[in-house]
A = this chain, B = another copy of it.
């Protein structure tokens, strides 16, 4: 499969970020995507004794070799078209590729990586294409329940501003640990995925609400965080959204989905609040210990018939290479044993955005189907 260089691909997308590399060569070009799809990484570090590359496109890691000019390099692949995260570890210090402007950031330092995007011969489902585009809106809102000003990101589908008599369903979509309210659009490309699905006529237009997933600082107990985050969601975020956006306010037009930590939040908050949500999804969810399910989901299992009637979708997906696969399988078993109708979606893949972008693409058409 033919591949464009990173520089060209980025320029075409209109974010000329890395294209400087092609136009005004700095000393170091890294990463460089070769015509055959292999990728060369470079680092100018004459004094370093050891440079290691770790990345989602590698099994294990790779050692860079030092050239006579003090520039370290390694070529890997071919690498399949995808968006990947990677790091350099220089003499034991895990850091970024200092020649690459594309970074993944979040709410803790542990999440910082460089980003490698390999383009295919044709646009991916998450690429910006010449179709009508929705907008991303960032709000600073006052959370009365948490007593602070917080940020919130919202996607509105193309036509939202123009079609002022239309109302829309709402998907509440949560990020994972160490990430933030921008992760689903910056890393997940949620807006572009939905723009493309809308252009293809494959989904209903809906608003996506992406709150900041921490009610307590990152690293504290997940149960406490879910409780505080959930209070903010229900008492502050949903009312804020319903006061500012033309969204339907009935449970039939509300979905709750999240990934990893946010998957645990979505399943927990969704299944305990079926008066608010009718579509519930967990992507590689941090669903917790199976020993706690009976207590955590007591409300759900106390009246399974009613729950099954209310749930238009309960979707649990996880990649088999994900360390959370076994807990997700166990959660599905718990649901099955309890008689709760659901989809358990077992796929290849690990705990990566490539899985979650794909899951959003698969789940979006199942939300709010037009009758």
Taking Cβ atoms with an 8 Å cutoff, the residues of A that contact B are: 7, 11-20, 22-24, 26, 43-50, 90-96, 98-101, 103, 105-112, 128-130, 133, 135-143, 146, 148-151, 161, 180, 191-192, 195, 212, 214, 216-220, 244
| B92-A95 in contact (CB<8A) | no
Interface of A is mostly: loop
Could you list 19 A-B pairs, sorted by A, with CB under 8 Å? A13-B149, A15-B151, A17-B107, A19-B218, A20-B107, A20-B219, A22-B217, A23-B219, A24-B218, A26-B110, A48-B93, A93-B98, A99-B109, A101-B107, A103-B112, A135-B138, A136-B137, A136-B138, A138-B138
Are A141 and B133 also in contact (CB < 8 A) when A93-B44, A109-B101, A161-B244 are?
Answer: yes
Hey, which chain B residues are within 8 Å of A214, CB to CB?
A: 16
Hey, which chain B residues are within 8 Å of A133, CB to CB?
A: 139-141, 149
Hey, which chain B residues are within 8 Å of A110, CB to CB?
A: 26
Are A47 and B91 also in contact (CB < 8 A) when A17-B108, A135-B138, A212-B15 are?
Answer: yes
Q: How far, in whole Å, are A102 and B44 apart by their CA atoms in the complex? A: 24
Residue among A12, A108, A141 with max Cβ neighbours from chain B (10 Å): A108
Tell me how far the C-beta of A107 lies from the nearest C-beta in chain B, rounded to whole angstroms.
Answer: 5
Q: How far, in whole Å, are A112 and B112 apart by their CA atoms in the complex? A: 12
Are A109 and B105 also in contact (CB < 8 A) when A92-B47, A148-B14, A217-B19 are?
Answer: no
Hey, which chain B residues are within 8 Å of A136, CB to CB?
A: 137-138
Q: How many copies does the complex hold?
A: 2
Hey, which chain B residues are within 8 Å of A101, CB to CB?
A: 105-109, 111-112
Hey, which chain B residues are within 8 Å of A47, CB to CB?
A: 49-50, 91-92
Q: How far, in whole Å, are A140 and B191 apart by their CA atoms in the complex? A: 10
Tell me how far the C-beta of A306 lies from the nearest C-beta in chain B, rounded to whole angstroms.
Answer: 37
Tell me how far the C-beta of A145 lies from the nearest C-beta in chain B, rounded to whole angstroms.
Answer: 12
> Which B-chain residue is minimally distant from A127 (CB atoms)?
B149
